[in-house]
Structure 1
Amino acid sequence: MIQSETLELLEWPRLCQHLSTFAATKLGAFAATHLQIPTAQSESLHLAAQTQEVYQLENRLRAGLTFDGISDIGDSLERAELQGLLAGEELLAIATTLAGVRRLRRIIDDQEDVPVLSELVADIRTYPELEQEINRCIDERGDVADRASAKLGGIRIQMRQLRDRIYQTLQGILQRQSNAVQEPTIKQRGDRFVISVKAPQKDAIPGIVHDTSSSGATLFIEPNAIVQLGNQLRQVRRQEQAEEEAIRQALTQQVAAVKPDLEQLLAVATTLDLATARARYSYWLEANPAKFIERDAGEPITLRQLRHPLLVWQQRHEQGSAVVPVDLLIHPQIRVVTITGPNTGGKTVTLKTLGLAALMAKVGLFVPAREPVELPWFDLVLADIGDEQSLEQSLSTFSGHIRRISRILKAISNTGTEEEQELAVPNPQSPIPNPQSLILLDEVGAGTDPAEGSALAIALLKYLANTAQLTIATTHFGELKALKYEDERFENASVEFDDRTLSPTYRLLWGIPGRSNALTIARRLGLNPEIVEDAQSLVGGASEDINQVIAGLEAQRRSQETKAQEAQELLQQAERFYQEVSRKATNLQERERDLKLSQERAVAEALNQAKGEIAQVIRRLQQGNATAQDAQGATNALNQIAERYIPPSPPPKQKPGFNPKSGDRVRIPRLNQTAEVLTNPDEDGEFTVRFGLMKMTVKLEDIESLDGQKPEQLVKNKEQKQSQAKNQNPKSDSQTQTPSPKPVIRTSQNTIDIRGSRVADAEVVIEKAIAKAMESGCLWIIHGKGTGKLREGVHEFLKQHPQIESFSLAGTSEGGTGVTIAYIK
C-alpha cells in the first residue's frame, strides 16, 4: 500500500504513460503503462542489459528494430484453445505475427554482440509451415481463398455461373420492360437479386416483392424467371459457408495445438518491444545507463546534472520552462540529507527527481544525468510528499503525514501485522531482513507546533539514520541544520535564493544550510521598518549572526564557482587553440606535399625538355654521315644542355672551427630556437642548454653556431672514423671501378636488331657488327625482352669476346632490358 502511494506521489504512472508512447505494438504499450518494479537487483541488471543492447542496435541499424505485423493475438489463442472458430482476420493476424517475430529474430541473430537478446529469442518457434498454410487459405482481406480447397473452388465456380445466368435473365427483362422499370440497374435485397419497378406497373413484371421505397412509388421485385436460380444460388452459398468454416476450423485446430509456443512467442515480442521503448525513451531523454554501487564498500552516489524526466517532457511537448538540473554527490558515510530553503525553491522537485531516478534504474531505464551515473539498488523507495495541488487535503495535514510515516517505518523494519508486511515487502515469502531503503520526506515535522514538530523531526531522522540506506528530507526548521555538526552521517543542502530578485534559482547547494529570508524579503517588499526591526529583536542576534555566516559561505561558494567557470573557459580556450594549431599543422603538411609534388612535376618537365633537346641533337647527327667534327659539335651541344638543366654544385662550407662552451649562444635547427649553453659537452657529446623557461639536454649534432658552423669535435670525430675505416681497408682508395666509357652517339651503323633469332645465329650477326662498329666504339644490340634466353646468350658471348671491353643494359628511354650496349676496345 505504501509503495503504491509512493508511486502515485512520485507521478510514476505519468512517466510510464510517456514511456508507452515509444512502444511499437499495443502489447508493448500496455506493458509500459503497467510497468512492474523488479524485486531483485539481478532482474534490474538483466533489464538494463536488454536496454543497452537495443540502444546499440538502434544506433547501428539504419531502420532499427521493426515490429511490423506483430499484433495482440492473445484472445484468439484463448478462443482457439476453447475450440472456438477463428475468423479469417484473426488467422491472418497470427500469420503476420509469426512473420514479424521471425524477422526480429533474424535481425538479432545477425548481430554478434547482443548475448542477452540472442538468449531471449533463442528458444522461440515461429512455425513457418503454419504461417504458409494460413497465407495459402486466407487472402489479404481475411477471406478464405479459392485455393484453400478443390471443393471450395468448384463451389465458387458454380456460384459464378448461377450469378451470370441471373444477371443475363434480369438484363433481358430490363430491356423488354424498360417502361415499367424505375431504374435500369440490378440491386440486391438480402441475398436475392431484384429490379426496381414502378408501383402502378407491377403486373408487367410478375414476381416476389422483397422491398418498397419509402414513398411507395417503387417496388423491388424478384422476377419469377430467376426465383429458381436464386434458390439454387442460396443453396450453393450455404455450401460455400460450410466449406469456409471447415477450412477455418482446421486452421484453428492447428493454432490450438501450438498455443503454448505461440504464447511464449508473444511474450518474447512484448519483452523486445518494451526493451525497445526503454531504449528509445532513454535516447530521447539524452540519458545514460546507471551503475549500481555498494555504499558500504565506500562508493559515493554520483548524479551530476540530474533532470526531472517529467519536466523534460513538459519542456519539449508542452512548452514548459527550461529544466534546471541538480547535482547529487553523496558520500558513502552520509545517511540523512536535510534540504532547507524557501517555498517553491525546488526542494520537492529534488525529492521527486531522485525517487524517479532510483525507480528508472530499477526497471532498466537510463537515468537523465551526465555520465557516470552511480547509485545504489534500493529495495524500497518510499515517500511522504505533500502536494499542495492535491484534492486530498488530508495528506498535507500533520495527521496525514504521521500516518504515512508510520507505514514507511513498518515497511523498512518488517514489523506490524502480516497484512501490513505483505503490503510493504515485495516478496512476502522471502522478506528482506534489512531492506536497503530510500526514504523521501517532504516538510518533515510540519503541520504542528514548531517546537514539538522540530523535536519530532530530529528524532525521526536519527532513527532513519540507523535503519535506512538513505533519507532525503526537506524542512524549514533551523534546528535540523545543526545535526550535521553532531553526527557525520548527516549532511546539509539548500536551494539557492536570489536576494536581488527575491526569487529562487532552483539550484541545489551542498554543505550550506538555507538561511531564513523572511525578514529580508519583508524589508525589501516595503514592510514598515519598525516592524521588521522589532521582529529581528524577537528572533535574536544569534539568528542574524548565523544568517551572516551562511551568507558569507554562499559568497565564498559563488567565488569558487566563478573561478571554476573561468578555469573551465581557459581549458576550453586551450582546447580550441590546440585544435587550431593541429589544423594549421595539417594545412602546412598538405602545402608541403603539394609543393613537393609541384617541384617533382617541374623537374620532370625540365627532364623531358632536356631529353627532347638531346633527341634533336642526335637526330641531326643521324641525318648524314657522322664525322668527327659533327660528333664534336654534338658533344658541345650536350654540354650546353647540361649547363642549362643541371644545377651548379653548392659552394663548399667553411672549415668548422666552432667549439661550444658554457655561456655561449647556439642554435638548435630542428626546434628553430636560440639557446644558452649551461654545461660543457661530456665524452658522449651531450650538454645542457636553456631557452626561455625550458632546459634540455642536446647532442653536438643537434646544434650549430649562430653563423652556421658545426662543432669542431663532431667534425674531428667524423674524420677519425673515416681515417680508421681507411686503415682497416687500405685498398679502398686504390681499387676503383672501371671508368665508364665515354658517351657515344647511336646511329643506324652501330645498331643491330636480332629479335627472333636463335643464339647461334645471333652470334654470327654480332661478330660481323663488332667489326663494322670499331670506329664508333660501341654497339647497340636489340634482342628484346621475351623469355630472356636470347639476352643471356648474348651476354655470355660478349663476356668471352676479346674485343669487348664491357657491356650494359640500355636506359629505360632506349629500350631498357630489351637492348644491350657493348663497348668495343
Structure 2
Amino acid sequence: MQAETLDLLEWNRLCQHLSTFTTTKLGAIAAAHIPIPDRYEETLELLTQTKEAYALEERNAGVSLDGIQNITEAVFRAEKQGILSALELWAIATTLAGARNLRRQLDNADYCPNLQILASDLRTYPDVEQEIYRCIDEGGNVLDRASERLGEIRHELTSVRDQIMTKLQNIMQRNASSLQEQIITQRNDRYVLSVKSPQRDRVPGVIHDTSSTGMTLFVEPNSIVQSNNRLRQLLKMEQAQIEIILTELSAKITEIAEDLQRLLIIVTKIDLAVARARYAYWLGGNPPHFLDQEAIVLRQLRHPLLVWQQKNEEGREVVPVDVLISPQISVVVITGPNTGGKTATLKTFGLAALMAKAGMFIPAREPVEMPWFDLVLADIGDEQSLQQNLSTFSGHIRRIGRILEALSPQSLVLLDEVGAGTDPSEGSAIATALLEYLGDHTRLAIATTHFGELKALKYQNPKFENASVEFDDASLAPTYRLLWGIPGRSNALAIAGRLGLPQDILAAAQVRVGIGSAEMNDVIAELEAQRREQTQKTEAAAHLLVETERLHKEILDRAEMMRSQAKELRERQEKEVNAAIAQAQKEVGRVIRKLQQGEQAATDVQHTERRIEELTKRHLPEMPPAKPKLTLNIGDRVRIPKFGKIAQVLTVPNGAGDFSVRLGQMKLSVNLSDTEPI
C-alpha cells in the first residue's frame, strides 16, 4: 500500500527532480529511487545531514565530488578475482583521489560534525592510487614505466617498426609506377604495399588481400617478412606483459574491495545530502520540526512538482495554501467545487509529509511544524482494475480496504472524493462511518468530498475540522486558496445561471434543492466574505509592519551615519586646532630667541601668549575642576553614592585613599573616590 501511495502522489517524479541536483552518477541513481525511512531516528539523521550541507551552501563552501565515478561493477568483479581493464583501474584511482579531497574539505567544516563523522570512515589508499597512476594514463594506456620488461619490449617494437618503414619507403621510391597508391597499409596485422595487378612481378612478396575490382594487390615484400614476423611476436609479448600488470593491479583492488564498497556508500550519502540541500535552496524550503502533540503549521505551502513546472516548464504561478490544524483535530473534510484544487491540496500535503520523512526541506514558510507519520496512505483518483472489471466505486473500496489493513495510530490517510461512485445517500453514510473510524484509529485523515452531510460532522465531533477551496462568483473560477473552518458551498446553480440555463429551470431546481440549502449557501458566502476581509486586514497590517521596520532601519542607518560624520568632524577640527597651537608655539619660540638677542620688545611676547590662550579656550574642552581631597578622621560620617547610604569612618585613609567604614551592621573597605562629604 505504501508503494501504491508513492505512485499516486508522484513521488518518483520528485525523486527525478532531486537527482538533477546530484554530482555523481551514483548519487543520481540513488536519488531517483529514494526509499522512505521506516524509523524516526533515520529521518532525523538524514535531516541533520541536509541541514549541515545547507550550511555549506550558504557559506559558498560546498564540497566537491570531482573525480568520483561509478566503479560498482569494477569493484564487484575485483571481489571475484577478475582482471580489470586499464580504464576501470584509472576510474578507481580518480575515485580514491576524489574521496580523499572530499574528506579534506569536510575536515575544515567544523559546523558539519555529522558529515565529518561520515567522511572520517573513508579509506582512500593513496599508495594504490599512486601505483595506478604510475602504470596507467588517463586514456587507459599502460605506460612503459609500468614494468622494466614492458619498456624493453616497446623499445624493440619501435626499432623493428622503424626498420620496416625504412625498407618499405625505399621499395616505394624504386617502384613508384607499379604502386596503386604511395601509402603503407596493414593487412592481417602485417605491413603491405598496394601494387597494381599487372605489375605484380615488380614487387615480389606475399599477397595478403585483393581489392574488390581485382586491380590492386596488397603485397608484403619478401624483404620485410622476417621483420613483420618479429613485430607480431613482440606485440604478443607486449600484450602478455600488459595482462601481467593489469592482473597485479587488479589483485591490489581485490584486497581493498570491501573498503571501496563502503567508500561508494559514504560518498553517495554525502552526494545525496548536498543534493537535498541544493534542492531545498532552489525550492525556497525550510526544515521541518517534528512535534507530535502540537498544531500542524505549514504556511504558504507549495506543491513541489508544480514549482518545477513553473520554473522549468513555463507553467502557471503556484498558489500556496496554508495548512493549520489544531492538535485535537484528527479528521479534516475539504469541500468545494470541481477543479478547485482539493486533490492538489491532498497531494501537496502528502508530498510534504514524505519529504519530511526523507530528510528534505519543505517548500513552506518558517516555522514548519508537523508530526512524523510512520505511514502515508492514499486513495486518490478514480483508477480501477480493468483486469478485474471493477467499477470506480469498487476500486475505491478495494484500495480503502488495503489502507485499513495497513493502518497505524501514527498514520496519515488521504482520501479523494470519499464515498463517491455510488448512490449518494449510501455513499455519504459509508463516508461518514469511515471518517469516524479513522478519527479514532489514526493520527490524521484528510478527505475531499461533495457530500453536504459531511460538512456537519465538525459540529458533532470535536475531532473534525472543515476546510474549503475558495470560488470566485464573479469570474466563475476557483482561486485555489484554502479556507479553514468554513465548509465549501455549492455553486452549481449559480454557475448554471451564468452559463445561460433558463431561469424557469433554475427556479424549479431551486425548489427541489430546498430553502435550507439556499440559506446555508448564503451563510457560507457571508463567512467567506468575512474571512476575505479579515485576510485583507491581516495582509495590510503585515505590509505596514514591514514598512515600519524598513523606516526604523533607515532611521538607525541615518543616525549612525550622522554619528560617524560628527566624529570625523571633531577629529578634523582637533587636528586643525592642534596644528594652529603648534604654529603659535613656534612663533613664541622665535620671539623668545629674538628677545634673548635683544631684537624684540616684551609686548611682542605677551601678544603671542594671548593668541595661544585664545586658541586653547576656543577649541580645547575645559578640564573638569579637580575634586577636592577629603580629610577624614575616625568617627566622621561620609556618604557612599552607589549604596545611597551614610557610613561611619573606622580608619584613616592610607596613601592609596583606602579606608574602612561601618554601614549598618556591615564593615566595608572603600576608597575616597567612592565617597562624598556630608
User: Normalising by the residue count of structure 1, what TM-score does the alignment of the two structures yield?
Assistant: 0.73
What is the letter of the counterpart of residue 318 of structure 1? E
Residue matched to 2:604: 634
Please list the CA deviations of residues 274-313 of structure 1 after superposition, one character each: whole Å capped at 9, or x if unmatched: 2222121111111111111213xxx111111111000000
Over 3 Å counting, the alpha-carbon distance change for 1:357 and 1:390 in structure 2 is farther
Please list the CA deviations of residues 535-586 of structure 1 after superposition, one character each: whole Å capped at 9, or x if unmatched: 1111111111111111111111112112212211221221122122112212
Please list the CA deviations of residues 343-362 of structure 1 after superposition, one character each: whole Å capped at 9, or x if unmatched: 01000000001110111111
Spell out the pairing of 1:373-772 with structure 2 (5 A cutoff). Answer: 373-386=368-381, 397-412=392-407, 434-618=408-592, 620-621=594-595, 625-626=597-598, 630-638=600-608, 641-642=611-612, 645=615
Over 3 Å counting, the alpha-carbon distance change for 1:635 and 1:274 in structure 2 is closer
Q: Give SS of 1:182's match.
A: strand
Over 3 Å counting, the alpha-carbon distance change for 1:269 and 1:647 in structure 2 is closer
Q: CA RMSD in A?
A: 2.4
Q: Give SS of 2:481's match.
A: strand
The partner residue of 1:240 within 214, 238, 241 is 238
Residue matched to 1:186: 184
- Using the TM superposition, name which of 500-509 and 566-575 deviates more: 566-575
Over 3 Å counting, the alpha-carbon distance change for 1:395 and 1:267 in structure 2 is farther
Give how far 1:118 is off.
2.4
Aligned mates of 2:418, 2:145 — CA distance in 1:
74
Aligned mates of 1:307, 1:530 — CA distance in 2:
43
Q: Give SS of 1:497's match.
A: strand
Higher relative contact order (CA 8 A, sep 6+): 2
The partner residue of 2:305 within 303, 310, 313 is 310
Give how far 1:513 is off.
0.3
Give how far 1:605 is off.
3.9
Please list the CA deviations of residues 575-621 of structure 1 after superposition, one character each: whole Å capped at 9, or x if unmatched: 12212211221222122123213322331343244235434534544
Aligned mates of 2:455, 2:555 — CA distance in 1:
52
Aligned mates of 1:392, 1:347 — CA distance in 2:
29
1:129 equivalent in alignment to 2:127: yes
Give how far 1:119 is off.
2.4
Over 3 Å counting, the alpha-carbon distance change for 1:563 and 1:303 in structure 2 is same
Aligned mates of 1:151, 1:562 — CA distance in 2:
85
Residue matched to 1:763: none
Q: Which runs of 5+ in 1 are unaligned?
A: 413-433, 651-683, 685-723, 729-825
What is the letter of the counterpart of residue 474 of structure 2? R
Give how far 1:61 is off.
4.4
Over 3 Å counting, the alpha-carbon distance change for 1:604 and 1:394 in structure 2 is farther
Residue matched to 1:687: none
The partner residue of 1:348 within 333, 343, 347 is 343
Aligned mates of 1:53, 1:107 — CA distance in 2:
13
Residue matched to 2:162: 164
Over 3 Å counting, the alpha-carbon distance change for 1:236 and 1:161 in structure 2 is same
1:281 equivalent in alignment to 2:279: yes
Q: Which of the pair has more CA radius of gyration?
A: 1
Percent identity, please.
58
Aligned mates of 1:46, 1:552 — CA distance in 2:
48
- Using the TM superposition, name which of 516-525 and 452-461 deviates more: 516-525
Contact 2:384 2:395 in 1 (8 A): no
Please list the CA deviations of residues 185-231 of structure 1 after superposition, one character each: whole Å capped at 9, or x if unmatched: 22222421122222221211111222333443332221111010000
The partner residue of 2:87 within 86, 89, 101 is 89
Contact 2:99 2:122 in 1 (8 A): no
- Using the TM superposition, name which of 280-289 and 476-485 deviates more: 280-289
Give how far 1:17 is off.
0.9
Q: Give SS of 1:179's match.
A: helix
Q: Give SS of 2:176's match.
A: coil
Q: Give SS of 1:216's match.
A: coil
Aligned mates of 1:113, 1:584 — CA distance in 2:
36
1:146 equivalent in alignment to 2:155: no
Q: Give SS of 1:65's match.
A: coil
Please list the CA deviations of residues 483-504 of structure 1 after superposition, one character each: whole Å capped at 9, or x if unmatched: 0000000000000001111100
Give how far 1:132 is off.
1.5
What is the letter of the counterpart of residue 295 of structure 2? P
Aligned mates of 2:8, 2:389 — CA distance in 1:
14
What is the letter of the counterpart of residue 544 of structure 1? A
Aligned mates of 1:510, 1:574 — CA distance in 2:
30
Contact 1:394 1:400 in 2 (8 A): no
Contact 2:383 2:395 in 1 (8 A): no
User: Normalising by the residue count of structure 2, what TM-score does the alignment of the two structures yield?
Assistant: 0.88
Please list the CA deviations of residues 406-437 of structure 1 after superposition, one character each: whole Å capped at 9, or x if unmatched: 1111111xxxxxxxxxxxxxxxxxxxxx4411
